Structure 1
Amino acid sequence: MNAPLHSTPTTSRPADTAAQDSTPVNSSAAADKPGLTLLIAAPRGFCAGVDRAIEIVERALDRYGAPVYVRHEIVHNRFVVDGLKAKGAIFVEELDEVPDGAPVVFSAHGVPKSVPAEAQRRGLDYLDATCPLVSKVHRQAERQIEANRHILFIGHRGHPEVIGTMGQVQPGEMTLVETVADVARLDFPPEKALSFLTQTTLSVDDTAKIVSAIKTKFPNIVAPKAEDICYATSNRQAAVKEIAPASDLVLVIGSPNSSNSLRLVEVAQRCGTTARLIQRADEIEQSWLNGVGTLGLTAGASAPEKLVREVVDLLSQWRTVEEHTLVSAVEKMVFKLPRQLTE
């Protein structure tokens, strides 16, 4: 649900210097710190799909006890994964690493059909943490194949979501499209029945250009009934477009293998602003702030708010920070848990 853009100014709390520096900061030193205007994007951080996936692992640990196996990173964030490991989750890449009889969770990115089929064959007790918005794309793919249409799938090769979605259909029934140049190379006859779908975490602007090229080349192609790029991806990119033009530097908290986080960096850069992807506050170099009077800050959909506050606390050691939260949308989406965890 969209809300009017507004800014909420606050002054950052004093940094916890014990965690960062054993030398206390006295009041005179604090007075000498130059000012920094901090524009924090909202919405940012966890989306409903990520909240659900993490809760599934935590509840599975409560129900079954440790260890609970997780196929692939539950979400693309090292801090989250390490936290779940500490509670007893074991992360693996393939099912053959899961012992017989052990519970296993499938990641939020989705898996090919062959994975739950193999889990059933082995009698594994499995929980599917696939984001419901990714599952929606999976169902659309099945319907398009049932209608005898070949699918053009817009996405990034090798991403777990792409692997999972393409694994919903038989080989040869879906063609991956990554760029406008890929569209130009497509060679389907005019009578070929086609449809297209997209990965949920793509750049809104880039995808629009690819879709336009596809529709121009194949005027009769069938489009999805609703936008496949998820609300959280769209909202976070829109929020960056609000803070980036007014910022000298934008920091995006997220993992290098997080598609939605990488897209936030690209969005800021396209606004003409220098942008950097960081995983934790300790990656920030103080020299990055040279000449920076206004800094934009956001977090990808798999980055917890704790990491945002870590960054603010570190910045507050170097500068006198004045925070402004710019709200461009309000998110109220909540997804149900699997029935096995609620009955």
Structure 2
Amino acid sequence: MKKTTVKEIAKALNVSVATVYRALNNTGYVKASTKEQILKKAEELNYRPNLIARKFAMSSKFRILIIMPIHPSFYWNDVRLGVSMAEQELSEFGVEILVESIDNQIFNTIPVEEVIKIVEKSKPNGLLVTHGRIQEFSKLLSYAKEKKIATAIYNDGQEYQDRIFYYGPNKEIAGRVAGELTGKFIRGKGIVCVLARTYYLSAYTQRIMGFVSYLNEYSPEIVLSNIYTYKEGNDEAVLDNILKNYPDVNALYIMDAAGAGIFGQYLKERGIKDIVVVGHESSPLSRQMLMEGYVTALICDKKVCQGYYPVKLLYDYLSTGVLPEKRDLCTDINVVLRENSLYLEDYRYGCGFQ
């Protein structure tokens, strides 16, 4: 008679293998109702633990290396929080989590050789990496494959296929959401100007494609300007140029993570409150301008989850050899308005309740 496996229980209940392990072994945190379901399903399927495999999994030591950018700090500090939550849950399994920070200031690109040196020194079993501003990113993936390091990509780099999974936002969909919001706020007519930081423009290809494609499909009467690029020191002049060239502009779409707050502040200084501003992520300034009405909406990633779940999924793979059922695991997209901006940070940030 074929034995029931932990993987089969996990699949039947749509939870992770690690969650089933914790419930069956009474270790670590599992939501009470989820644990009850797992134990009931295990009994239904006549599950019997493989004591040899269990002893091996518990005694195996894994090292997971996470390459993580520093800037903007308000974004990546939340991702680090998710990593810490996962590390705490996996500590009893002897998992070593290493986080190496890379300086991704807007004027920097990171040579791939520097990142490979970090990986060589750390000697990990698993690698979590985001594309960010790493040059020749594919070389890093090829190196990891050659060294038989299980590699997953999180946050940015979904287009690269040399990985076991991707976990993070779908940037094209985020752009389409921005297009839908902008179109509805100005009722399908008017002038929209698009802005992005000069050094990040190449990273937003998918985002702007989604934005433009949505407006072309559903709001063809909207007039789109060329993309205005800005950098620290000339951002205010760029806004003045927009207001001069498009005095009747109806909306600004700002593609980078902190720009909505910056331009919202400049609009406040000019006493302009009738221009719709749609941006990404909730920096302290962006949230303040949202509350004051100079930013209309923010599209926010699930940041904490991008630290938590990739670590858990990679551990599942290292300890059991089981891959996620999907290779592309795209996070939810939060649309943040003034009235729900204070409720983003819900209990445990939506992580851990499987």
TM bucket normalised to smaller: 0.3 to 0.5
Give the TM-score of the pair, scaled to structure 2: 0.33
Give the TM-score of the pair, scaled to structure 1: 0.33
